[in-house]
Amino acid sequence: MTTAAHPSSVVSEPTAEKWLRMYRCMQMIRHFEDRVNDLYLRALMPGLAHLYVGEEAVAVGICEALRPDDYITSTHRGHGHCLAKGAAPDRMFAELLGKEAGYCRGKGGSMHIADPDTGNLGANAIVGGSAGIATGAAFSAKHLGTGQVAVCFFGEGALGQGLLYETMNLASLWKLPVIYVCENNLYNEYTHFSETTAGDILARGKAFGIASESVDGQDVRAVHAVAARLIESARQGNGPALLLCNTYRYTGHHVGDISREYYRSKQEEQEWKTQRDPILLFAAWLTGQKIADSAALGQIESEVKAEMQAAVDFAIAAPYPALAEVEQDVYA
């Protein structure tokens, strides 16, 4: 399904250059995550990580519609958001390995990457925990008159958290420029969302008078079009929006979630990967439009792969923080 945005609602039609930047970014996320999984399998990464593979169109489509100084909050499944907002893969890998060169000097890890330079207020390992922070950033933007917008990414599992509705109510009352982006990848960990989520998701936003829309989260152009419209509307002072992106995660809840048949079938996974893959769908459109041929796209992919390998090598070689750092930065 390609839901072309209504012409009047398109903020500005992306150029070929922009489409290819988005394609590159989607490839970057995919190959970044591939390397993360590899680090896990080779026992080089401490702890676990939650991969974003399959959901690339959401982060890329939305972040492409943001200004560099706009804010995002991210989740435990946050690598894609960080990359799409402009984070450098080498420093992200360094963070994943607990190295000093990491975005958080190794103190945050996979679930807490934060970076003021790219407006990343931080990934959050409390499901739904960042709704307040994103809404607060929108509060600042409004009070300081900066014209910034905040995007709050969350999985559909966070729909069970009261904080989300408290902040939606506040954001609507105060017309704050915040976009609540629900990434519905169908599963709250190992439980299908239909077992945990009553009623209509969009109705939850509408109940607060919030513009609420859904989009095919595998179609990066559709995501981008609707995001650009909602973000600009919020920037103009028209208040918050809820954007429901229907998507799918290809791999386990985290890298160690290998046997998944008890909660979803291999066939289901296969169908999404072969028929609904956001990168394949976008590549087909790019070649169909003659924006790039498959050789050019292949070239992008191999450049990205090499870049990711170099980033991993950097992180592996990077030193750990000095032990004296353990007590640093508890207080500002």
Partner 1 sequence: MPETAQRELTFAQAVREALAEEMRRDTRVCILGEDVAEAGTPFKVLSGLVEEFGTNRVIDTPISEAGFTGVGVGAAMTGMRPVIDIMFGDFLTLTMDQLVNQAAKIHYMSGGKWKVPMVLRTTLGATRRSAAQHSQSLHAWVSHVPGLKVVMPSTPYDAKGLLKTAIRDENPVVFFEDKMMYKLKGPVPAEDYTIPLGVADVKRAGKDITLVATSSMVQVALGAADLLEKIGIAAEVVDPRTMWPLDEQTLIASAKKTSRVIVMDEGYGRYGVTGELASVISEGAFYSLEAPVKRMGAMHVPIPFSPPLEDLTVPTEQTVFEAARALCGKA
Kindly list the residues in this chain that would bind ligand TPP in the complex (CB under 6 A): 50, 76-77, 125-127, 155-158, 185, 187-189, 253
State the DSSP string of 239-251: --EEEEEE---SS
Q: Tell which positions 109-128 bind partner 1, by CB under 8 A.
A: 112, 114-116, 121-122, 124, 126
Residue number, 99 or 253, with CB nearest to ligand TPP: 253
Residue number, 102 or 278, with CB nearest to partner 1: 102
What distance in Å separates the CA atoms of residue 3 and residue 37, rounded to the nearest whole number?
33
Tokens representing 178 are: 């915040």
Residue 81 contact among ligand TPP, partner 1, none, beta carbon within 5 to 8 Å by kind? none
Q: Are 231 and 181 in contact (CB under 8 A)?
A: no
The reply on whether position 98 binds partner 1 by CB under 8 A is no
Query: Biggest alpha carbon distance in the chain?
Result: 57
Task: Report the alpha-carbon angle 275-280-284, nearest 5.
Answer: 105
Residue 156 contact among ligand TPP, partner 1, none, beta carbon within 5 to 8 Å by kind? ligand TPP
Residue 77 contact among ligand TPP, partner 1, none, beta carbon within 5 to 8 Å by kind? ligand TPP
Give the position of tokens 């650009």: 228
The reply on whether position 137 binds partner 1 by CB under 8 A is yes
- Which region, judged by CB under 8 A, interacts with partner 1, from 136-144, 179-187, 258-266, 275-283? 136-144
Give the position of tokens 């945990």: 196
> What does R_g of the chain's alpha carbons equal in angstroms?
19
What distance in Å separates the CA atoms of residue 239 and residue 167, rounded to the nearest whole number?
13
Q: Are 77 and 95 in contact (CB under 8 A)?
A: no
The reply on whether position 96 binds partner 1 by CB under 8 A is no
Which secondary-structure segment (H or E) carries 163? Answer: helix 162-173
Which listed residue (104, 186, 231, 244) binds partner 1 by CB under 8 A? 104
Paired with 120 in beta bridges are: 72, 115
Residue number, 168 or 312, with CB nearest to ligand TPP: 168
Residue type, 173: L
How is residue 60 annotated by DSSP?
A: H
Residue 114 contact among partner 1, ligand TPP, none, beta carbon within 5 to 8 Å by kind? partner 1
- Which region, judged by CB under 8 A, interacts with partner 1, from 4-12, 105-113, 267-275, 311-319? 105-113
| Crossing angle for the helix pair 278-288 and 56-63, to the nearest 10 degrees | 60
Residue number, 63 or 127, with CB nearest to ligand TPP: 127
Residue number, 130 or 233, with CB nearest to ligand TPP: 130
Q: Using CB under 8 A as the criterion, which residues of the chain lie in contact with partner 1 when the complex forms?
A: 71, 73, 102-108, 112, 114-116, 121-122, 124, 126, 129-141, 143-144, 150, 162-163, 166-167, 169-170, 173, 328-332
